[in-house]
Structure 1
Amino acid sequence: MSDDLARLQQELRTFARERDWERYHTPRNLAALISSEAGELLALFRWDQNSVVERPKEVRQEIADVFLGVLRMADLAGIDLVEAADEKLKLNAEKYPPEANSGPDSTPPGFPRRI
């Protein structure tokens, strides 16, 4: 894991410990936190597709909230996020090879097909 991620995880541990919040940092509660913060990020785009340009501070803060929740959960689960992300990228590359997933009629998984 990178030094920056390790430092952030240590700061999150200290933050939780100093406030006696460790007891609330269960996998379920952290999953709910991540989902809630992702919902707040999505809400910024509800009526404005360009929120990254129009409201960069709010978008930045919500992305940070999601990231910190994921980082805390990974720490408690003993998951190296860089290693896990590398593995997932490799799996996605195998699952969605460029030759079968590119071109004008291609859509990412979960997106409706163009008519």
Structure 2
Amino acid sequence: MDELLREINNIDGIEGSMVLASDGLVISSRLPAEYAEGMSTALVAELCRSVEEKTTSVDKGRFIAGYVFAESGNLIYFQSPDFILAVLTSVSANIGALRLALRKTAKELIRKM
């Protein structure tokens, strides 16, 4: 799993990546020192829980992916029943290309877990 995150982090525009259990516990992460791992993982886990709850309440089915765009960077995350894959990106990152690469990585993680 560390190898997959290392590969993700080599994609242009990715600043850090993490895989969390569906309950928010860290399985693996590759975050730069300036990111507080606990704060970053807690944010992702809470976002996923909140969005999952809301999509279920409006009969939209299981939550799959989310994007958060902020002034100084972005957060992209994919959720499966077993894990959450999340990446932190620069503002200038090509979101479309990253989305495709992350879907591929999420499929690889599903096979490995």
Whether TM-score is above 0.5 comes out as no
TM-score (norm 2): 0.33
Structure number with bigger Rg:
1
* The structure with more helix, counted as a fraction of residues: 1
* The structure with more strand, counted as a fraction of residues: 2
